[in-house]
Amino acid sequence: MKCEGKVWKFGDDIDTDLIIPARFLNVSDEKSLAENCFADVRPGFAQNIGPGDIIVAGRNFGCGSSREHAPIAIKGVGISMVIAKSFARIFYRNAFNIGLPIVESEAAVDVISEGDWVSVDLEAGTLKTENDSESFVIQAIPAFMREIIRAGGLVDYVKQRGLK
Q: How many other C-beta atoms lie within 10 A of the C-beta of residue 146?
A: 16
Per the CB < 8 A criterion, the answer to whether 14 and 57 are in contact is yes
pTM: 0.92
pLDDT for residue 41: 93
Per the CB < 8 A criterion, the answer to whether 6 and 24 are in contact is no
pLDDT for residue 54: 97
pLDDT band at 92 (very low <50, low <70, confident <90, very high): very high
**pLDDT above 70 (res 164):** no
109-154 pLDDT per residue, tens: 999 999 999 999 988 889 999 876 889 988 888 889 989 999 999 9
DSSP 10-49: --S--BHHHHS-GGGTT---HHHHHHTTTTTTSTTHHHHP
43-89 pLDDT per residue, tens: 999 999 998 999 999 999 999 988 899 999 999 999 999 999 999 99
- Rounded Cα distance between 98 and 157, Å, is 10
